[in-house]
């Protein structure tokens, strides 16, 4: 009887525990549901409004266009217009829902069926180390992209689900889809379908067709693996799976599936990534000054001509001596940079020798010496003497080792005679030469020692090219620029370049005289290798021990500068400005000006009246930069103390104990003084009857 009683007690106790368990489970479920509801309500209160969600940045994308409008490089993590739901092709919406979340319109933000399936897969793969997959809805992906990160943990997954539920309560399905399609990552730095469409197909997402939409929808699973630019075959294979899913979900028919020609999709070509990057690295930092737009995607239109860029790269690579580097800058007549090569190969060395490196220009610097002389009253036909000269203990020599005697300015420049340049520097004043260089855009420090006339101050290639371009523009200042226009992705203009012709550096007759000299240097002098079958004006430059070789010149509105040398500044025995640099200039310019009309130089211009009939009253007083009794200024235009004729260069002026220096006696204002100040005694000299030519050019 006792045993029978116990057997009756056992089922009753089990039933009691079952009831208690059910009650506890129900209470826990209710409590959990209440907690979830409270969490969702709190999350809803913390969610920003829709406009704030749209503006949350992925990072700014910048697309850089060449002069012909083609894209040369895309920078940054995102690009594309924000497309409203009504602007998105329905085929793109269908492809994405079929691939990523086929029950999107039927779940509250979290898909219980998908979660159950993912849990079953996780059980099957236990111990394999593979992650739980397939449980995230489109809404969950939106919350992860905007509010969370891709780290995998149960805590992050719970927060993701709560936010997804809150998002579905606050916003409509259309709004969530709009957020998703504009923010999901598709690889290659592209966030959003418009970015992906522009990157992979070269057109906006508003015109996507079925095969293109299938390719884009297939990228979400593994953007790097299925990228059309990285593996076109894998991308097409994945797109085929997307089409299968779309047919299975009933959004396309079997006929539409069969007619979708995935192999016929035309991919946008990848932009060049080598030498043109020297240009973009130089131009793009200027955006910080030109526009104030840190978030919106930008379209940057530039001056670079891809055909000229290819020709410039080929010219440098074909002519640079073994073991050396080369650089080239080419400017249009208004300063537009048409080509820029900063080195032999951007991938191995992104150091831009065209805009950053500073090297001695050698005899190319003489343009500033001769322009100062022309401005002071010399003409190309003025007679000078090539003879030994010593200035403060410095005695320049010609590379020929000989002196040619009486010649004219034109011959002295054409054959780069050093002694004449030194004498002209003395005549006009070394600070005047420095001032001329500053005027023409040389931004590096300039010394005013006598040897400066031979190019001993370091300069940048782009600055020297700018100076030559200003001469080509008849003395009007040229400022190199690379950006013509900046717009937002929707076409709103933020900046547009305006040409400035207001700054006149020298009178037109000075620029014409300089062009005359440089044309002779190419026609018969040290720059003969730069001839291209049409008028060219230019100048060579070679530094001590052939460490640097330069050629700079212009023709038909294009000004180009070429530099070659070693980065470690070691000597290169075969490097002279009139050889490899001049040949590279010619190879490039033949392509650069091929489609331009031939332009003759205007070298015969009327001199100003004061040179023909000087007004004596206008020159009363002391000249600013004369060598006798005049005031001297340094390269910054500040007055400097002139040493006594018998004072050593390193000796301080005799002004001890605060003594006031003796004031110079004013010169007598007679005709001889006027002739000396105006330089008429030099410029009125007739050219020598016979012009001896130096036996060896001095590059």
Sheet of 325-331: strand order equals 337-341, 325-331, 558-565, 548-555, 537-542
User: CA 184 to CA 181: how far, in whole Å?
Assistant: 6
Bridge-based pairing of strands 62-65 and 71-75 is antiparallel
Specify the DSSP class assigned to residue 349.
-
88-122+134-264 placed in CATH 3.50.30.30: no
Vertex 680: Cα angle to 435 and 437 (nearest 5): 10
Q: Is 323 left (phi over 0), alpha (psi -120 to 50) or beta?
A: left
CB 89 within 8 Å of CB 213: yes
**Hunting for tokens 């371009």 — which residue is that?**
469
Burial (CB < 10 A; 0-12, 13-18, 19+), residue 5, is: exposed
How much is the pLDDT for 647? 42
Q: Is 178 a residue whose pLDDT tops 60?
A: yes
Q: What are phi and psi of 551, to 5 degrees?
A: -145, 130
3-class DSSP assignment, residue 302: strand
**Quick one: what percent of the chain has pLDDT higher than 90?**
48
Q: Is 151 left (phi over 0), alpha (psi -120 to 50) or beta?
A: beta
Question: Most confidently modeled of 125-129, 403-407, 669-673?
Answer: 403-407
Four-point Cα dihedral 641, 644, 649, 655, nearest 10: -60
Q: Is 367 a residue whose pLDDT tops 90?
A: yes
- Dump pLDDT digits (tens) for 312-342: 999 999 999 999 999 999 999 999 999 999 9
Tokens of 60: 């700014």
Tokens of 547: 């460490």
Tell me the pLDDT band of 155, cut-offs 50, 70 and 90: low
Torsion over CA: 128, 134, 135, 139 (sign): positive
Better-scored residue on pLDDT, 220 or 335: 335
Query: How many CB atoms are located within 10 Å of the residue 453 CB?
Result: 27
User: CA 13 to CA 311: how far, in whole Å?
Assistant: 94
How much is the pLDDT for 78? 55
Say if 88-122+134-264 and 310-360+458-593 have the same CATH topology: no
Q: How far is CA 627 from the centre of its chain?
A: 45
Query: Can you state the percent helix, strand and coil of the chain, rounding each to 5?
Result: 45, 10, 45
Q: With helix as H, strand as E and coil as C, how does 235-290 read? A: HHHHHHHHHHHHHHCCCCCHHHHHHCCHHHCCCCCCCCCCCHHHHHHHHHHHHHHH
Tokens of 452: 């400066």
**Radius of gyration over alpha carbons of the chain, in Å?**
38
User: CA 623 to CA 607: how far, in whole Å?
Assistant: 21
CB 572 within 8 Å of CB 320: no
User: CA 464 to CA 560: how far, in whole Å?
Assistant: 10
User: CA 200 to CA 206: how far, in whole Å?
Assistant: 14
Q: What are phi and psi of 300, to 5 degrees?
A: -110, 115
Residues in the chain: 699
> What residue ranges do the domains of the chain occupy?
88-122+134-264, 310-360+458-593
How much is the pLDDT for 318? 96
For residue 65, give the H/E element and its range: strand 62-65
How much is the pLDDT for 612? 37
User: CA 440 to CA 470: how far, in whole Å?
Assistant: 7
CB 308 within 8 Å of CB 589: no
Q: How far is CA 434 from the centre of its chain?
A: 29
Q: How far is CA 102 from the centre of its chain?
A: 46
User: CA 105 to CA 250: how far, in whole Å?
Assistant: 14
Q: Model's pTM, two decimal places?
A: 0.65
Tell me the pLDDT band of 419, cut-offs 50, 70 and 90: very high
Tokens of 582: 């001049």
Q: Is 578 a residue whose pLDDT tops 70?
A: yes
Tell me the pLDDT band of 622, cut-offs 50, 70 and 90: very low
Q: Is 611 a residue whose pLDDT tops 50?
A: no
Burial (CB < 10 A; 0-12, 13-18, 19+), residue 653, is: exposed
The CATH topology of domain 310-360+458-593 is Beta-lactamase (3.40.710)
- Reported in sequence order, the residue ranges of 579-673 that DSSP labels E, i.e. its strands, are 632-633, 639-640
- Dump pLDDT digits (tens) for 483-496: 999 998 888 999 99
CB 367 within 8 Å of CB 468: yes
Angstrom distances, CA of residue 519 to CA of 417, 436, 598: 16, 20, 15
Query: How many CB atoms are located within 10 Å of the residue 428 CB?
Result: 27
3-class DSSP assignment, residue 636: coil
């Amino acid at each position: 009887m006792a045993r029978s009683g116990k057997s009756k007690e056992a089922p009753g106790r089990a039933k009691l525990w079952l009831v208690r368990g059910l009650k506890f489970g129900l209470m826990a479920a209710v409590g959990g549901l209440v907690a979830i509801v409270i969490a969702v309500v709190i999350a809803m209160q913390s969610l920003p409004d829709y406009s704030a969600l749209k503006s949350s940045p992925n990072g700014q994308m910048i697309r850089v266009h060449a002069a012909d409008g083609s894209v040369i490089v895309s920078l940054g993590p995102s690009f594309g217009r924000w497309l409203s739901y009504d602007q998105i092709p329905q085929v793109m919406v269908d492809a994405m829902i079929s691939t990523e979340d086929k029950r999107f319109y039927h779940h509250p933000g979290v898909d219980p069926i998908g979660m159950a399936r993912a849990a079953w897969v996780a059980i099957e793969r236990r111990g394999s180390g593979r992650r739980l997959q397939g449980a995230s809805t489109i809404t969950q992906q939106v919350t992860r992209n905007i509010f969370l990160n891709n780290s995998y943990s149960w805590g992050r997954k719970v927060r993701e689900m709560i936010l997804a539920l809150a998002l579905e309560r606050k916003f409509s399905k259309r709004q969530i889809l709009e957020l998703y399609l504009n923010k999901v990552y598709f690889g290659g730095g592209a966030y959003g379908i418009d970015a992906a469409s522009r990157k992979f197909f070269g057109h906006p997402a508003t015109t996507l067709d079925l095969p293109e939409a299938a390719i884009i929808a297939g990228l979400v699973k593994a953007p790097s693996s299925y990228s059309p630019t990285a593996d076109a075959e894998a991308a097409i294979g994945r797109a085929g799976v997307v089409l299968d899913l779309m047919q299975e979900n009933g959004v396309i028919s079997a006929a539409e599936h069969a007619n979708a020609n995935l192999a016929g999709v035309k991919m946008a070509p990848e932009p060049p990534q080598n030498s043109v990057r020297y240009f973009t690295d130089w131009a793009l930092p200027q955006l910080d000054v030109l526009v104030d737009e840190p978030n919106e995607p930008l379209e940057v239109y530039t001056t670079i001509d891809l055909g000229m860029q290819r020709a410039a790269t080929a010219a440098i690579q074909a002519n640079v001596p073994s073991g050396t580097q080369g650089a080239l800058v080419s400017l249009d007549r208004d300063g537009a940079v048409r080509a820029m090569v900063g080195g032999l190969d951007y991938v191995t060395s992104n150091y831009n020798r065209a805009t950053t490196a500073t090297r001695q220009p050698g005899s190319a610097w003489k343009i500033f010496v001769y322009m100062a002389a022309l401005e002071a009253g010399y003409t190309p036909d003025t007679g000078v003497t090539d003879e030994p000269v010593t200035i403060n203990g410095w005695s320049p020599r010609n590379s020929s080792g000989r002196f040619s005697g009486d010649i004219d300015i034109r011959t002295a420049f054409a054959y780069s005679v050093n002694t004449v340049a030194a004498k002209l520097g003395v005549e006009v004043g070394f600070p005047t030469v420095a001032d001329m260089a500053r005027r023409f855009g040389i931004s590096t420090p300039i010394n005013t020692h006598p040897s400066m006339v031979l190019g001993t101050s370091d300069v940048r290639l782009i600055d020297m090219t700018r100076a030559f371009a200003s001469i080509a523009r008849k003395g009007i200042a040229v400022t190199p620029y690379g950006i013509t226009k900046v717009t937002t992705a929707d076409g709103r203009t933020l900046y547009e370049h305006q040409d400035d012709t207001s700054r006149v550096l020298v009178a037109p007759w000075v620029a014409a005289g300089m062009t005359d000299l440089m044309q002779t240097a190419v026609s018969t002098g040290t720059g003969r290798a730069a001839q291209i079958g049409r008028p060219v004006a230019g100048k060579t430059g070679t530094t001590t021990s052939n460490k640097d070789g330069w050629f700079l010149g212009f023709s038909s509105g294009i000004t180009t500068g070429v530099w070659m040398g070693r980065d470690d500044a070691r000597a290169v025995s075969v490097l002279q400005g009139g050889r490899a640099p001049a040949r590279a200039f010619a190879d490039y310019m033949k392509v650069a000006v091929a489609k331009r009309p031939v332009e003759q130089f205007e070298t015969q211009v009327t001199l100003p009246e004061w040179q023909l009939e000087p007004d004596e009253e206008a020159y009363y007083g002391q000249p600013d930069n004369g060598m006798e009794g005049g005031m001297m200024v340094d390269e910054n235009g500040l007055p400097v103390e002139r040493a006594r004729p018998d004072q050593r260069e390193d000796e301080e002026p005799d002004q001890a104990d605060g003594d006031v220096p003796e004031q110079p006696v004013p010169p007598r204002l007679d005709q001889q003084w006027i002739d000396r100040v105006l330089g008429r005694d030099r410029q009125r000299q007739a050219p020598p009857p016979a012009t001896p030519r130096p036996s060896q050019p001095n590059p």
